[in-house]
Amino acid sequence: MSNSLVKNTGGEGVCLDVTPESANWRFLSFSAVNLPANSTHTDQRDGQETAIVPLSGGGVVVAGGQHFVLSRESVFTEMPSIVYVTPGDSIEVIAGDDGFEFTIGSAPAEGKYPTRIIQPAEMKSEVRGGGASHRQVNHVLAPPVDAERLILYEVYVPRGMWSGWAPHRHDGVDGAPYLEETYYFRFDPSNGFVMHRNWAPEDGFDETVVSHDGDTVLVPKGFHSSVACPSGNMFFLNYLAGELVDKERSTPPCFDEGHTWIHDAWDNDDEGAWVQPVMQTPNLNNPGGLPLDAIDGEVPDDPYRVSGEKPTDGDD
């Protein structure tokens, strides 16, 4: 298994944990927590700003002497309110009667910004890309929302589509900004999966990771991009942190120049994209491969097209 894949252990409590030590980087920590009903998670991070994002259920976050109520039916049905915690404030998360699933991540900070709740109305939202790479990006803790180092995005990718295209990097190479990044994935239905690639042409590093619902993929260096399987709508939550501070957090990554031409093609009605059928053949749409007059004009069924029931939660 790749070191860039962090599997969700399931169960209760902290079910996924990334630290600078485990990831072999300098800035970013990230965890996913599943609290059972009426239970408590406590934390305190000196010298670290922290962001808490609800995934499902609800509870109360007590930080800096303030009480914040967070709840969310699902990442697929509503945007979150998140809690930003200034360095050094104690944190207590108390789950409600239905339990509380959330993420918590942090990065070094001086304490310029106060502990507070950030509402969806403060968050920028946009649709990016084109062709086979449309996605919605919600800036849940990214400019114009203030933080010192932390950057958070929630991204919605329709099934079968790519995200992060043209490929980009932010590892400090060739003038790119230096940012560490985690991808936390969820799928609808939950048996979906993603193929995520990290690669750095200058040193031959190249890995492709398959991630499932609730897992996390790290971006250790290089260009990166992800594609959802054709039967799963994909959500991912990015936490990033690195050398960019305050307003610099809006600095864009560097893109793979071998693929940036596609942006112009998208602007021109996806110019050059194939439309099926690409090749006209004597037996088009005849899976049997026999001349129609040899089978009395009846087209055999396609053996690769079968029907089935869409899974519901729990049917993996």
**Tens of pLDDT, residues 54-83:** 999 999 999 999 999 999 999 999 999 999
310 pLDDT band (50/70/90 cuts)?
Answer: confident
Tokens of 120: 């969806």
Q: What is the mean pLDDT of the chain?
A: 93
CA distance 209 to 216: 10
Whether a cis peptide bond, with omega within 30° of 0, leads into 166 is yes
Q: Where are the beta strands (DSSP E) in the chain?
A: 5-6, 13-18, 29-35, 40-44, 48-63, 66-72, 82-85, 90-108, 116-118, 124-128, 135-141, 151-157, 162-169, 179-188, 193-200, 205-212, 216-219, 223-228, 233-242, 254-255
3-state secondary structure of 241: strand
Beta bridge partners of residue 16, listed in sequence order: 32
Of 16-30, 93-107, 252-266, 285-299, the range with the lowest mean pLDDT is: 285-299
pLDDT at 277: 86
Q: Give the model's pLDDT for residue 293.
A: 56
Share of the chain above pLDDT 70, in %: 92
CB neighbour list of residue 30: distance below 8 Å, 6 or more residues apart: 16, 17, 18, 103, 104, 105, 182, 184, 216, 239
CB 168 within 8 A of CB 292: no
Residues forming a β-bridge with 117: 83
Two tokens at 72? 């969310």
In the chain, what are the domains?
A: 5-267 (2.60.120.10)
Tokens 């108390």: give the residue.
94
Q: How far apart are CA 181 and CA 236, in angstroms?
A: 12
Q: Can you tell me the mean pLDDT for 252-270?
A: 96
More confident residue, 126 or 279: 126
Q: What is d(CA 27, CA 130) in angstroms, rounded to the nearest whole number?
A: 33
Indicate the pairing of strand 66-72 with strand 48-63.
antiparallel
Burial state string for 65-103 with b = 16 or more CB within 10 A and e = fewer than 16:
eeebebbbeebeeeebbbbbbbbebebebbbbeebbbbb
Between 36 and 312, where is the model more confident? Answer: 36
Which one has a higher pLDDT value, 280 or 167?
167
Confidence band, pLDDT 50/70/90 cuts, at residue 289: low
| SS3 (DSSP) at 261 | helix
In what helix (H) or strand (E) does residue 183 lie, and over which residues does it extend? strand 179-188
Q: What is the pLDDT of residues 84-129, one digit of tens each?
A: 999 999 999 999 999 999 999 999 999 999 999 999 999 999 999 9
Q: State yes or no: cis peptide before 252, omega within 30 of 0.
A: no
pLDDT confidence of residue 296: 56
Give the number of other Cβ atoms within 10 Å of residue 139's Cβ.
18
Band (pLDDT 50/70/90 cuts) for residue 240 is very high
Give residues with Cβ within 8 angstroms of 214, minimum separation 6: 8, 10, 15, 16, 32, 184, 185, 186
Q: What is the pLDDT of residues 180-196, one digit of tens each?
A: 999 999 999 999 999 99
State how far the Cα of 171 lies from the Cα of 175, in Å rounded to an integer.
Answer: 9
Residue 144 CA to residue 119 CA, distance in Å, equals 13
d(CA 66, CA 258): 50
Closest CA to 106 of 43, 57, 48: 48
Q: Across residues 11-37, what is the average pLDDT? A: 98
Q: Specify the 3-state DSSP secondary structure of 136.
A: strand
